[in-house]
Structure 1
Amino acid sequence: MYQPADKELFPLSNPTPLTVPPVEQSEDKNIKKFIKERRLRGKNQREYLVRYGHPVHEDEWLVEPEIPESHKLMRRFRHERRQQA
């Protein structure tokens, strides 16, 4: 557990407040399409493998609340899956 330094023992100690760098919201992180869908075990939640307009290694799994405008992308994803079946 952290305790501040004793001013009598360490008079020159002046702790500087820590600052957290802002999370970069890059404009090029627009989701192009969903690739796959999977259910999380023990949860009533689904994850979607999303593809950006970048190389495949940048694809990532996201849950629905993390996806902006997910309803539009999901509609297109499900429509494409029905067409393939």
Structure 2
Amino acid sequence: MTTETHGSAMHEGHRAGRPTGVRRLSTALLESEDLAADFNGFGENAPTKGAILSAFKAAAPFLGYGSKVVHAIDWLFRFSSPQDWL
């Protein structure tokens, strides 16, 4: 495994196949941005923190997350405050 420093190929510009962090502009991306901009929250039908954590734990194996990641998320949920879920 090799790593690049600031003095190597980093100054040559973007290399094919390397992630840039920029998504390609597409109609699907624009539609999803519009959908996200229109979202005003769940209101009274909002899932509880426990329901969200439970859904994550149930989905984790299918998403490829191991027990260490699930435990870390569970641990982080313990430190969240009620205002984090508004």
TM-score range, shorter chain: under 0.3
TM-score by length of 1: 0.22
Structure with the largest fraction of helix: 2
Structure with the largest fraction of strand: 1
Q: Which has the larger radius of gyration?
A: 1
TM-score by length of 2: 0.22
